[in-house]
Amino acid sequence: MSLKSFDKFLENYILGQPNNKKEIMDERQKIARTHILVETLIIFSGLSFISNFVMDLWYRWAESYASPMLIFFMLCMIYFNIRCFAKGCLIGINGGKAITFTAAYAIFMGVMMGAKYLIGNEEYSSLFADGKLTDDFCFIAAWILFVVYGVLTIILAKADKKRKGDE
């Protein structure tokens, strides 16, 4: 969110120049998105800190410390999109093209990387080893979540457009 646009918005009000409804809705949408972004980042920070804490002091549940972060990151991205949809600010103020592109890119990357990982990795062995999730498991789960994120984004964007069209 840009503070400059918010200041302009306030300036218009103070000088008695009316903001049109679109400007007000745009500012509201920016603030709602920032609000949800803060929530998402707090959840991601909390999850990664708790994961490190548990693995360091109690039980090492994954083979490496870094790979579970990919899963947390993807879960947080999915959470962000769902919350944005619920608050009516998924598409942003620039229309639906950007989000459709992001979703298509996520699906393409997820499928390509997942396929390359599964087909090209000859040493790929097991998903669990010594009571821990292996890196292979974390990477595959993250790529699957990436595809889920892309598909979900397209569905939510269409539903959001339809909802706005009905209104």
Partner 1 sequence: MSLKSFDDFCAKIVNNDPTIPQKDIFDERQMVVRSQITTRALWAFVIMSGINLLIMECGPQWCDSWVLSTAMFGAIAYLYWVCANARRGSLFGVNGTATLASQVGFLFGDAVFIPIVILSDKEPDELFENFFIRNGMVSEYFMIALDGAILLTAGIVMAVCIGNHRKKEKAEKENDDK
Q: If binding is defined by CB under 8 A, does position 52 make contact with partner 1?
A: yes
The CA distance from 6 to 28, in Å, is: 10
Q: Which two tokens stand for residue 138?
A: 């974390």
Per-residue string for binding with partner 1, 84-113, x by CB under 8 A?
A: ---x--------------------------
Taking CB under 8 A as the criterion, the residue among 8, 61, 69, 144 binding partner 1 is 69
Q: Shortest approach of partner 1 to residue 154 CB, angstroms?
A: 26
The CA distance from 110 to 8, in Å, is: 40
Q: If binding is defined by CB under 8 A, does position 44 make contact with partner 1?
A: yes
Per-residue string for binding with partner 1, 16-35, x by CB under 8 A?
A: --xx-x--x--xx--xx-xx
Q: How many residues bind partner 1 (CB under 8 A)?
A: 35
Give the up-direction half-sphere exposure of residue 105: CA atoms within 13 A in the CB hemisphere.
Answer: 6
Read off the DSSP letter of residue 128: E
Q: Which two tokens stand for residue 14?
A: 């103070």
Taking CB under 8 A as the criterion, the residue among 8, 37, 124, 132 binding partner 1 is 37
- Strands (DSSP E) along 20-91, which ranges? none
Between the alpha carbon of residue 140 and those of residues 65, 72, 145, the distances in Å are 16, 13, 9
Q: Of the ranges 57-65, 100-108, 113-121, 126-134, which one interacts with partner 1 (CB under 8 A)?
A: 57-65
